[in-house]
Amino acid sequence: MTDGKNPSTPAPHLCELYRLWRGLREDAPLNMGIFIGGGEEDEQLLPYWLELDVQAARLLEEWNSPSAAPVPGLTAIMFDRDETKAWIFVFPPHRRGEPVGLEKARDEMAARGVTHGVVESALTEALTRPMRLVLLAEGALPVHGRDGYAEYLIDVPEKARFAQVTDNEKNRIDYKNLYWLVAVKAGDVLCRLHPPTAAVNGVSVKGTVIPGRPGRTVSAPQGQNTALSESGAELIAVIDGTIRQKRGRLDVENTVTIEGDVDFSTGNLNVEGNIVIKGAVRSGFRVQATGNIEVRQMVEDAALVAGGDIAIEYGMNGNSRGVLRAEGQVRCKFLEHTIVYAKGDVMLGSAINCRIESGGAVLVTTTPGCVIGGILTSMKKIEARSVGAEYRSIPTKLVIQPLPYYTEEIRRLREEAKAEQAKLDSIKAIFQKQGEVAPEKAPIVQSLKEQQVAIKIKLAKTNAALTGLEAKGQEMAQGAILIGTAYPGADLTVLSARRRLDDTAYNCRVTNVDGEIHIGLK
């Protein structure tokens, strides 16, 4: 329905009635703002304009009727969809008709059921200033409860892996650190569960309750090796491991398996627990694990750091840059141009131009069992089928001696034991000097006794560790180098004694006897 005088008006009959009431020209342009106090038009009020236009069309027929009968005023009350708002619109009388009075307006309100949230001043305004849409009463919408939710306290790993911008100014992107493996410790809180909130009911202008919807409880994303806290409000990791998200659940895995190579598709890896790599480790990448590292194929010039053992099924060519560092053992078919630090044994098939330091034994005994070039250092024993090269002299050093970490640990433990003993002696001296303990000093004496017990426990642990290391030192004094064939150029050191071979030696056992190298039969 359009108004020829103002095509944009949604209520042409209402506008025509207004012109007639105000004595305006028939072509006087109007907008709906005049019906709400001269304000801007509001699209949300469109349903009311349409409803009022229907009533205005009916009144126009009466106003334009040839009959001279008076037309009384009329009250229109309208509601929004939720009935939380009631609007009133008063049509003026015509030809000396009776205006809408307060009593009549209240009767209309009662007939329409408007009982709650009535604004008396709005009713007065509507009666004194007709032809305006006035907010008569206002209730309250319900406030729905908020659903419970899980607040993740760790970075949940995503399937997609993204390179990281490391320098915005120079547009540098780190393609090797993709941060898709998230390591956690036992006891770490993975997520916190927030409870739902209660709903607040609303009320309509008719006084009826509008029920609110209570929030829904969230389910804990509990997966393998996770547990809820006693309160049920936190999800906790039960073991050290790496977070994996599967079907909306959080699992903590002690062993991470990489199906292919460690390369730009995986980035560097840092894992709590063990890691199994079914492919190779490509050049320049780093693999770190608190447990064991197992590689099923080759390792190029990369870095592998393990809190446990390192096992490489094929071998490694470190290109003088590759590093293996293990708190436990290292096992590999062959090593070339590689640096190895291991606190346990190192077991190989061959070592060419490598630098190996082992807190245990270095055993190059599986086929071919050769050591050519480089330096092999052990604190226990070195055994190889052959050392050096048959047709040319290649310097190859085999050394039995303490490693730097061992010497430093002995020094640290001795200093620690000395400091703890000094504390015990100090407390003992205080007890010897004191006589009868005054009541007010009893707490101080009790505190000293507790300190004394704690220091004794710590000192006992320190001495036990020191004894273990010293025993290893005594074992090292019995260390030996066992070689099937030692070619010229083999440089052999056992503790303070050293000898370089100028001739080939067979089936030899190299030891330190009275500060001199002794070469006997195996």
Structure confidence by residue, pLDDT tens digits, 397-454:
999 999 888 889 889 999 999 999 998 888 888 877 766 656 767 787 788 888 888 9
- Give the pLDDT confidence of 62-103 residue by residue, as tens digits: 898 888 789 999 999 999 999 999 999 999 999 889 999 999
- Give the pLDDT confidence of 204-213 residue by residue, as tens digits: 999 999 999 9
Residue range 469-496: average pLDDT? 89
Element (H, E) at 102: helix 102-112
Residue range 41-64: average pLDDT? 87
Per-residue pLDDT band for 57 (boundaries 50, 70, 90) equals: very high
Q: Position of tokens 């050519």?
A: 372
Q: What does the pLDDT read at residue 446?
A: 83
Which of the residue ranges 41-45, 162-166, 239-243, 510-514 would you say has the lowest mean pLDDT? 162-166
- Give the pLDDT confidence of 377-395 residue by residue, as tens digits: 999 999 999 999 888 888 9
Q: What does the pLDDT read at residue 471?
A: 83
Per-residue pLDDT band for 349 (boundaries 50, 70, 90) equals: very high
Per-residue pLDDT band for 171 (boundaries 50, 70, 90) equals: low
Taking the chain, what is the end-to-end CA distance rounded to the nearest angstrom? 113
Is the pLDDT score of 160 beyond 50?
Answer: no
Q: What does the pLDDT read at residue 172?
A: 58
Is the pLDDT score of 260 beyond 80?
Answer: yes
Element (H, E) at 519: strand 516-521
Measured between alpha carbons, how far is residue 489 from residues 94, 207, 226, 351 in Å?
126, 104, 58, 16
Q: What does the pLDDT read at residue 436?
A: 62
Smallest CA-to-CA distance from 356 within 385, 384, 325 is with 325
Q: What does the pLDDT read at residue 144?
A: 95
- Give the pLDDT confidence of 131-143 residue by residue, as tens digits: 999 999 999 999 9
Entry pTM: 0.66
**CA atoms within 13 A of residue 322's CA, in its CB half-sphere:** 22
Domain map (residue ranges) of the chain:
12-138, 149-252, 254-401
Element (H, E) at 120: helix 120-128
Average pLDDT value for the chain: 88
Per-residue pLDDT band for 169 (boundaries 50, 70, 90) equals: low
Residue range 283-312: average pLDDT? 95
% pLDDT > 70, the chain:
91
> What is the C-alpha to C-alpha distance for residues 47 and 346, in angstroms, rounded to an integer?
85
Q: What does the pLDDT read at residue 159?
A: 44
Is the pLDDT score of 4 beyond 50?
Answer: no
Q: What does the pLDDT read at residue 2?
A: 40
**CA atoms within 13 A of residue 365's CA, in its CB half-sphere:** 12
> Which amino acid is it at 78?
M
Residue range 324-344: average pLDDT? 96
Which of the residue ranges 63-72, 297-306, 312-321 would you say has the lowest mean pLDDT? 63-72
CA dihedral 202, 203, 209, 210 (to 10 degrees): -50
Is the pLDDT score of 1 beyond 50?
Answer: no
